[in-house]
Structure 1
Amino acid sequence: MDRLADELRDFSLRLSRVLDDIGVNERTVMMRRRTGLIFESLNTLERYVTNNGDLTMFMFGSQTEGSTTLGLNSDRDTLIYSNRWNIIQDLCQWEQGKINLMMLRDNVAPGYCRLQMLRSDIPVAREDLPDDDYEYDDEGRVLMKNTFHDLQPGEIRHGPASSDADLNSDYVLGLPCRSWPTEALPWVTRTTAHQWPGRNLKCFSVNGGCFVVPTGHCLSETERLEWRISTSIAERCLMFNMNITQIRCYVVLKMIMKTFLNGIVTSYQCKTVLMYLVEITNSELWREENLISCIIMSLRLLQLCVFINNCPHYFIPENNLLDGRLNLETRQNIVFMIGNIIDSKCIAILGIEMDNIGDRLYAICNPFIRRNSIYFMSPKDVCLNIYRWLQHDLYKYIHISFLQIVNGLDNHTHIRNCDEMKDSIRRTLKFRENGSCSERAAAEMLAPLLCTTLGTKLASADISRGWCISAESLQWLSFGIDSDVASGRLKLASVLFCSGDIHRSSVTLHDVEQRYDTRVTEPLCGCKDFRVNISSLRFSDNCLLCYDYKTTLNINVAFEVVFTREEKHCVPNGLKYEMFRCTEEEHRNRDENHDYWMDWAVVDSLPYLYYLQYMTYRRLDNRAGQQRALGRLIHTIDTEPHLHHRETALNLLGQCMEIEDRLMDAFTCYRRSLNWKSTHNVARWHIVNLLYRFL
């Protein structure tokens, strides 16, 4: 027995080391959680800023919990709910002016409910059908169907969620219930000898209430009228309070299920088993030297659940998570396979290919023999790749949120637009002052982008009237100058250039050139889905190991430069053409939810820097500087792999070639631009103009 215990302890320490090497460690888990919460805050901030505060988003799942790896590639679960809805369990919770729905639990499986429509003026049941999203039940009650949320183009149904076609993101529409579900009340008073979770954690979890999500029980005859009770907030609270050994146990369970059981047993069922096991065991057990023992215990409990065909929901034990999901033959196979893994004392883990787990373990056990001659990434490189990907996604989403806010304000008159933009900035600053740590971080990164846009709009209005640039405009531009490495300063330089202040524009451009280090600066775009290789991202190692996202943003990120049509007087003519890239037919057929930016001038920072330098040196009659800028523009287009708007950069280069009277070179630029993007491209009009000049 002592020998077996020593072997399990040794195996546990080796597996813990491997999991540490692939990023399942305290630092990376915390980084994933912090980034997930900032994502969540950005979603909420975007809606708060645009005065659409009734919508709130939560980010759930393994990405936010930190219980994933690069190989697991877990999706990001987003729950969206509106504060206009009020799901109640008692008439005393009814609120006037809201859409009140009463939970009904008769004739439904535990953990599910039906939603009865109540009147909005008095707390009584509504008797007439509001629309086709409701229907009468057998007792004449007005019930809401769970099919009222239509799928958007490109989405598919995935349980209660609508998902992207590649299943990278799940979007669940939930309805909020501010009170804890009555079926889960016994959990609050449920006590164990080891007291996990503690009283404070339970109180915090319960205060978050619950949601109902649009999916019925799979065996119900009235599935379309049923909603599942979701305790996602409480589950996240508990996962956030698990130690690293418990997180590692959960990660390995998911890997085992995906590798040997083809995902038949879900990660949620594994999570449920883990929470039960943590509750009934002593906290002293959950140490890295006991990891294999913890995994075996989890597998035994999971095997028992499958054997008796009952995996009780952690908060609502009467809700069987396996009910109607597995047939007898499948259950027998699962029990047999889990039994083999247990009997092998988890040696089967050597067969897991995800994240090279098996090969890494084999290499540790046999340091002089490398199986299959596989050389894997160092622990430092793995963690840096995780950090690179997290920061890339976060900064890209910041720019997406910024574009969405600007687009929401872009359909009004100029005066109203600027007033609303100021109001949006005030809301962002208020969010920063009164919010949580993640909310402050989100607001600090979003506010400078909004300030720059407001300053440029005001400057455009001044230039259109023949006025000097106002102090207010310059002040807003100065507030946004540190939005990132380049875009804020490039917009300031563009304003100065178009207002005739060429010398100050030249100085600003020189400052951008000094700051923009192509070795560590990553171009980012929020309007195009541009896929990059993780290892090719340029975020510097020092910034990746820093928790200060704002500092990294100012050193390592160059957003694209965006000018709306209200900023057109601050845009050089060569770039202004991009605002008219679409034909009438293209405009009619495009997706306005994603392609609204095509009415704007959008260009990557680095080519715009050299184009603006070329134009500035031309005004200054500096021929040498002009040719140097032209050469660097050509070099950037030919060598920069991460340009998101290469067709626009080629169009700008063509404009420079026309100025140089190199018409055939200009024609070549426009042809290359069309080859790169054949539609929604102003290069067509440039070619027509060139042909006219030739003739």
Structure 2
Amino acid sequence: MPDHFTTLSIRMSEALDDSGAGQYTVMERRRTFMWRERMMMIHFQVLGDNFECFHFGSQSEGTTTPGLQSDIDFLVSQNDENIMKFWGDWEAGMRNLLMLHDDINTPQQYLLQLIREYTPEPETRLLNDLYVRKDTEQVLFSSERWKQDIEFRYKDSGEVTKCGPSVCWLPNWDMVYAMPVRKPLPEIQHWIDRCKGRYWPPVQLLDAAQVAPCFLVPAGHSDSDYKREEWRLSPNLIERMLMFSFNMTQIKCYIVLKLINKSLFAKIVGDSITSFHCKTIMFYSIERTHPSLWFEHHLMVLLRFCLHVLKKWLRMGRLPHYIIEGVNLLDGKLAKKKQRRLLVFIDSMIRNNLHDVFYIGIDNLGCRLRARSALRIGQDGELGRACLRNSMSLLLKFECLNVFLQFIMEVITYRLKKTNTNFEKTIQYKLRNLLEYSTNVRYKPVALEYIEHLYALQNSMQSSHCLRLRNVVHNETVRRFQYSLKTDVASSRLKLASLLYASGHLHSAVRVLEDVEKRYHSKVKTVCSCRDIKGDRDLLVFASMKSDNCDNGFNEPPFALCVKFVRQEAYCAPYILWFEMNRNITEEEVAQRTHSQNRFMDCAEVDARPFVHYLQYVTYRGLGERGKQLHAMGELESYICDPINQINLYHDETSLNLLGHCYEMEGDYERALHYYEESLSWFDTNNAANWHVQRVQRLISS
């Protein structure tokens, strides 16, 4: 080992900490994505879909940094099929699919033969377009046609991209629809037997691997005659267990391998080497080294050992899959000429004692290493690291909330509104389903948060129904709102304030609004489920958001959800927001809406901060407190017109409509018209401002 490797190892480890790959951030990523996984699991079950969901890959493992820009890997396991390994696995009443593998299929690849639902006999009919007939008259379930079917189902959700087994309509996501194989597989047992008696993987992991399901993903081998029909066997859960068994030195070594690949290897072989190749190299390297070596001060030695392992496989022209025997991960990925070029480069790296790591540009890692020299981190470095750690933690929470709203609340309310059943009764039914999950220790925190949001929606709808019938809103109804006030800083409280205003309890509404103002400090970030703002996920946005720096006396996460009223909540909302539930003037405007816009166009949705000031204005107006009324309107106008707040204004047109309405109530119709027209400059169709302009023009002309 070169004399300077110990020092360089420490410097590399500290540089990774400063780049967002420290232990705290790694574990925070894991916790966040496991939470998201459970959230989506509950989501599908509540909607009646027999799915399981899994987050795999770098984001859920915590093995990424901001500069690596890793995609989000998501697998949906459909449990409606029974995958048979042998004829004895057949089950009546299910779609049965028999795994076929012969000399024609490469290792890891299977064909799926359709077996009849009520008798254990091969199906001979092509029951739908997903099935094709093989030369031997066997009816096969086509992987390519299944992907085409998924693409068709989600064609209105956004631009659908296909890459390998993934069919996705979300940017920066890889989404795979797969089928679980719960039967024992000889490939997995062979690997378990091979690993027994080694330091790693541990015995407990091998025991868990015996019962962990594998997945059949829709991907054929590039050289196969049946590549459009083949399914690839993927032991994703076992691979995730292996990754979760890594210590911090192993995680950092893997991250540096990925950084070398993306910064240095990519200049030679493009994107031919993937994160999965790096992961496989790590598996072999950890298996073949003593656990006592995996410590921080050995990081560069271990990295060099990993490169030796890759060098060996490149010389042989094959990189074996770590779990499934007979699979060469270089097939179809890296041509022989590129393998030789990469081999020469790696050999040069090793002979130069890994000096090339100083030229890694991602996350400024090379600069961080050079700047540190052999010095220890100073006070500024510690502050920088703490700030980055805090920013990434807040970004993870922000994205988690965003996904929660987008995939849960939006989809549920949109789906429920489209059904012919009673909306409120359906919500009650979903709440009962969620209560079952709240008794499960693993799912309880997610289920309770889910319940808070749905309960708030149900309570608001009941209050609206009461007001529509001109009944008095009882104190018990108001008290129920307390169970949902923890959803965020403002939105649930603002719904309560809006209800109190609508029911004539103006003094109580003022008290709630004062409470919101105390909580709503200057660092609160808006979270919207239906729109994005360019740059709203930049780490700099979250760099100074730590709420305990703000002397407001509260320790809530500094996020405010947009306030949303569905039509069943209309009587809890100010009358001006009713126009937002009917944004279109012509049917042509409705036809122009995208799939995502359809989810909120029939609702009223407004950013929380402008809504605070608007509610203050109308409430103080009702109380006859003119000074406070005008102050609230000034605050509303100042907030909307200040460019610094644009990063938190997702519904500019609605906020401008509220401001225009304030001027309309003031009798200043020219100013009101100005703001309504300003609203139309953002969106000239599907905008309630079209109604307001017509109304104000009539007032001016009369």
Question: Smaller-chain TM-score range?
Answer: over 0.9
| AA aligned opposite 1:595 | N
2:620 corresponds in structure 1 to: 617
Following superposition of structure 1 onto structure 2, how do residues 553-572 of structure 1 map, counting pairs within 5 Å? 554-572=556-574
**Aligned equivalent of 1:217, options 206, 217, 221:** 221
Alignment partner, residue 121 of structure 1: 118
Cα distance in 2 between the residues matched to 1:403 and 1:647: 20
User: What amino acid is the match of 1:278?
Assistant: I
Q: Note the 1:37-76 alignment, pairs <5 A.
A: 37-52=34-49, 54-76=50-72
Whole-Å separation in 2 of the counterparts to 1:537 and 1:595: 30
Go from structure 1 to structure 2 and tell me whether the alpha carbon gap of 1:558 and 1:457 turns closer, same or farther (over 3 Å shift): same
Q: Does residue 1:149 correspond to 2:154, yes or no?
A: no
Instruction: Supply the RMSD in Å over aligned alpha carbons.
Output: 2.2
- Of 649, 656, 678, 1:650 maps to 656
Equivalent in 653, 662, 670 of residue 664 of structure 1? 670
What whole-Å deviation, never above 9, does each CA across 1:343-392 have from its counterpart, x for those lacking one? 11111000001111100111112669xxxxxx999222221222122111
1:593–1:127: structure 2 CA closer, same or farther, 3 Å change rule?
farther
String of CA shifts for 1:592-623, please: whole Å, max 9, x gaps.
Answer: 35532111000011111111111111111111
Alignment of 1:159 onto 2:164: yes
Q: 3-state DSSP class of the match of 1:317?
A: coil
Q: Is residue 33–residue 55 contact of structure 2 (8 Å, CA) maintained in 1?
A: yes
Which piece of structure 1 moves more, 621-630 or 157-166? 157-166
1:485-510 deviation digits (Å, cap 9, x = unpaired):
11111111111211222222222122
In the alignment, the residues of structure 2 paired with residue 504 and residue 382 of structure 1 have an alpha-carbon distance, to the nearest angstrom, of 41
Residue 406, structure 1, aligned to residue 413, structure 2:
yes
Aligned pairs, number: 675
Q: Aligned letter for 1:149? A: K
Contact kept? 1:522, 1:539, Cα under 8 Å: no
Distance 1:678 1:175 in 2: 45
What does residue range 132-147 of structure 1 map to in structure 2 within 5 Å? 132-147=129-144
Q: What percent identity do the matched residue pairs reach?
A: 33
The corresponding residue for 1:628 is 631
Q: How far did 1:575 drift?
A: 1.4
Per-residue CA deviations over 1:302-359 (Å, capped at 9, x if unaligned) read 1222222211111112111112332221111111111111111111000001111100
Q: Is the 8 A contact 1:55 1:83 kept in 2?
A: yes
The DSSP-based 3-state class of the residue aligned with 1:6 is coil
Structure 1 residue 435: deviation in Å?
4.1
Task: Give 1:299's match in structure 2, choosing from 304, 307, 316.
Answer: 307
Match of 1:580 in 2: 582
Task: Indicate if the aligned counterparts of 2:199 and 2:291 stay in contact, CA closer than 8 A.
Answer: no
- Relative to structure 1, the CA distance from residue 17 to residue 580 in structure 2 (aligned partners, 3 Å threshold; closer, same or farther) is same
Q: How much does 1:193 deviate?
A: 5.3
Partner of 2:127: 130
**1:501 alignment counterpart:** 505
Task: Give the distance between the partners of 1:658 and 1:135, measured in 2 at CA.
Answer: 65
Contact between 2:75 and 2:175, CA under 8 Å: does it hold in 1?
yes
Shift of 1:161: 0.5
Q: What TM-score, normalized to structure 1? A: 0.93
CA distance in 1: counterparts of 2:48 and 2:504, whole angstroms? 37
Q: What is the rounded CA distance, in whole Å, between the counterparts of 2:476 and 2:272 in structure 1? A: 61
Q: Is the 8 A contact 2:188 2:210 kept in 1?
A: no
Matching of residues 73-84 of structure 1 within 5 Å = 73-84=69-80
SS in 2 for 1:78: strand
How far 1:164 sits from its partner (Å)? 4.5
**Equivalent residues in 2 for 1:155-554, closer than 5 Å:** 155-164=160-169, 166=171, 168-191=172-195, 194-262=198-266, 263-365=271-373, 378-400=384-406, 401-412=408-419, 416-436=422-442, 439-470=443-474, 473-518=477-522, 520-531=523-534, 532=536, 533-537=538-542, 540-541=545-546, 554=556
Tell me the CA shift for residue 413 of structure 1. 6.1
Tell me, in whole angstroms, the C-alpha distance in 2 between the residues paired with 1:687 and 1:538: 41
Structure 2 stretches lacking a partner, 5+ long: none
Shift in Å, 1:412: 4.6
TM-score by length of 2: 0.92
In the other structure, the counterpart of 1:371 is none
CA contact (8 A) 1:206 1:234 kept: no
Note if 1:90 corresponds to 2:86. yes
Corresponding residue SS for 1:108: coil
1:133 Cα deviation (Å)?
A: 1.3
Query: Could you tell me how far apart the structure 2 residues matched to 1:682 and 1:538 are?
Result: 36
Structure 1 residues 557-577: Cα deviation after superposition (integer angstroms, max 9, x where no partner): 111111001111111111111
Structure 2 residue identity aligned to 1:380: A
Instruction: State which drifts further: 310-319 or 648-657.
Output: 310-319
Counterpart contact for 2:109–2:232, Cα < 8 Å: yes
- SS of the equivalent of 1:80 reads strand
Distance of 2:664 and 2:168 partners within structure 1:
47
Inter-CA distance 350–376: structure 2 relative to 1 (3 Å threshold): farther
Q: Confirm or deny: 8 A CA contact 1:63 1:75 kept in the other structure.
A: yes
SS in 2 for 1:68: coil
Question: Counterparts of 1:337 and 1:192 in 2: how far apart (Å)?
Answer: 35
Partner AA of 1:222 in structure 2: Y
Structure 1 Cα separation of the partners of residues 333 and 524 of structure 2:
49
How many angstroms apart in 1 are the aligned matches of 2:405 and 2:596? 15
How far off is 1:475 after superposition?
A: 4.6
Alignment CA distance shift 1:426-1:435 (3 Å): farther
Query: How far 1:47 sits from its partner (Å)?
Result: 1.6
- SS of the residue 1:313 aligns to: coil
| 1:647 maps to amino acid | E
Change (3 A) 1:326 1:101: same
1:55-107: CA deviation from partner (whole Å, max 9, x where unpaired):
22111110000000011111110111221122221223322222221111112
Give the conservation status (yes or no) of the 8 Å contact 2:488–2:560. Answer: yes
Does the aligned pair in 1 maintain the 2:196–2:203 contact within 8 Å? no
Worse overlay, 562-571 or 194-203: 194-203
Q: Once the 2 structures are TM-superposed, how far is the Cα of residue 206 of structure 1 from its aligned partner?
A: 2.9
* SS at structure 2 position matched to 1:131: coil
Aligned counterparts of 1:420 and 1:51: Cα–Cα separation in 2 = 12
Answer whether contact 1:164 1:170 (CA < 8 A) is retained.
no
